[in-house]
Chains A and B, each alone.
Chain A
Amino acid sequence: MSKLIRVVKSHHRIPIAKPSIGVSGKTGTWRWIKPVVDLSKCTKCYQCEIYCPDNSILVEPLKGAIVNYDYCKGCGICAEVCPAKAINMVEEEQHGS
């Protein structure tokens, strides 16, 4: 495969990890307020998606911004950066997902 070298897998345990979703579990459980998108106001400008630290809000070109509540920690950045004010942060208890 690689020039100059031979890679032979060790039979020992070696500190190598692989990329994976949910490395800290379902981080949606960290949330106490949650973003709720008013799709009628969403202009699909992608600001929320670009700035979401948790990569948990994706804009679908036809529908608009969709939140992944499994992992969204509820920081509220999406609501702050939304120029259309289409995202509201609401208490978890009132709007269980």
Chain B
Amino acid sequence: MVLKSLTGNHAVALAVKMARVNVVAAYPITPQTTIVEKLAEYIDGGELDAVMIRVESEHSALAAAYGSALAGARAFTATSSHGLLYMYEWVNWVSRARVPLVMAVVTRTMGPPWNIWTDHSDYYEQRDTGWIQGFAMDAQEAFDMTLQAFKISEDPRVFLPAMVGLDAFILSHTSMPVEVPEQELVDEWLGARTQGFVIDGSEALIHGALSPPEYTEGFIEDVGKAMEEAVEVVREVDHSFGRTFGRSHGGLVELYKCSDAKYHIVLMGAWAGDAMEAVDALREQGYSIGVVRVRYTRPFPGEELYKALSSSKGVIVVERGVSFGSMGPVFLDLAGNMLKYSRKLPYMRNVIAGVGGVNVTYKDFEYIAKETINYLESGEEPSVIAWYHAR
């Protein structure tokens, strides 16, 4: 194991290299570009034995990565925002095709107006596509989650593509020391590329042919089954990763100071670090509060979240995105999933903040938490959904 100072993007690129990816197909978009540039450097420098397909669009990036994966290659692509939207047809195609591959999504606000800073709307919009969706908090986790994404995606119970989310700039372009394991250990842990079928001429196989409704329904239903089975796979992979490399992240969610907490902030992404800082400060001021960090939004960690939150006095879901005309996607998923376990839900509030890349600091989290808790303890309920404008 060595420590390397890496940006979030370079941590992803290094994990892709250490997964011994065979094919990278990608198209540049800010703020994803440094992932692809680093991979090009690895390939042209002879450090990674892979083909780089420098495509003419994101639509083709995922299409080409998909083609190589069909043919038996471990494949990777990365994109952001409008690039992700441009490949949306393929995002859906790859999962229904049941072909494992990995894509990093450096989350960025969608236009108009043009804006290159982070929010989570681009990532949220993929939630019905049938991809495993993880979201990293820091460069170490971006590295670990990328390696884990290959393992999860290629598990025979899953055979779905996996997406690793990371915030534009605040994670993609900031550095931290990252523990990098030995290559031999990664090889041993990850193993050979595994997939459910291969199109390489060894057998006449036809993929994706016109299908009658009854067959089609079965294929789609089984994407859902794979997603259900993926819950256990994500947990297992996190455990085995921990045993091998000495780091576990908690599976589908990470709990921070939750064991005795009465109130909870629920969120995902880089700003979870700011929320944790706020919790430290609030605890010093006597507030009983913890952070529940959502690591995977698909499969959605309903069971974990129910266990963590069912006896909470107040749940504050803070989100960098909103489903227009409704609420934040994580809040909606959380509320719906909690109902699977109990009809009686704790008080839950949805705060929309940081949209368009507005900087949200620990002070903002402190303010949001105090405001909510003070309302609740005075016997009043604050509005269930609110926009918070950090300044």
Contact = CB atoms under 8 A, between A and B. Distances in A.
Please tell me whether chains A and B touch each other in their complex, using a CB distance cut-off of 8 A. Answer: yes
Interface of A: 1-19
Contact of B196 (A3, A4, A8, A17): A8
A4 B218 contact: no
B156 A18 contact: no
Q: Give the 5 A-B CB pairs with smallest separation, nearest first.
A: A12-B222, A10-B196, A17-B206, A13-B218, A5-B193
Contacts of A9: 156, 196-197
22 contacts: A1-B202, A2-B72, A4-B73, A4-B192, A5-B192, A5-B193, A6-B193, A6-B195, A7-B195, A7-B198, A10-B156, A11-B156, A12-B98, A12-B222, A14-B196, A14-B219, A14-B222, A15-B207, A15-B208, A15-B219, A16-B207, A17-B205
A16 B72 CA distance: 16
Nearest to A19: B204
Interface in B165-208: 191-198, 200, 202, 204-208
Contacts of A18: 204-206
B159 interface: yes
Contact of A7 (B97, B196, B204, B223): B196
Interface class of chain B by DSSP: loop
A17 to B, nearest CB: 4
Contacts of B207: 15-17
B90 to A, nearest CB: 16
Contact of B211 (A4, A5, A8, A15): A15
A5 B205 contact: no
Given A12-B159, A13-B219, A15-B96, A7 B206 contact: no
Given A12-B226, A14-B98, A15-B97, A2 B200 contact: yes
Contacts, number: 82
Best-buried of A4, A7, A14, A19 by chain B (most CB within 10 Å)? A14
A9 B194 CA distance: 10
Contacts of A13: 215, 218-219, 221-222
What interface size band does chain B fall in?
35 or more
Contacts of A5: 72, 192-195, 198
A10 B159 contact: yes
B159 A16 contact: no
Contacts of B22: 4
Contacts of A19: 204, 206
A3 B22 CA distance: 12
A50 B266 CA distance: 68
Given A12-B222, A12-B226, A16-B205, A7 B197 contact: yes
Contacts of A7: 194-198
Contacts of B223: 12
Interface string B73-115: 1100000000000000000000011100000000000000000
Contacts of B226: 12
Contacts of A15: 96-98, 207-209, 211, 215-216, 219
A8 B156 contact: yes
Nearest to A10: B196
Contacts of A12: 98, 159, 222-223, 225-226
A14 B211 contact: no
Contacts of B98: 10, 12, 14-15
A4 B205 CA distance: 19
B92 to A, nearest CB: 13
A43 B295 CA distance: 73
Contact of B206 (A1, A6, A16): A16
Contact of A4 (B157, B193, B215): B193
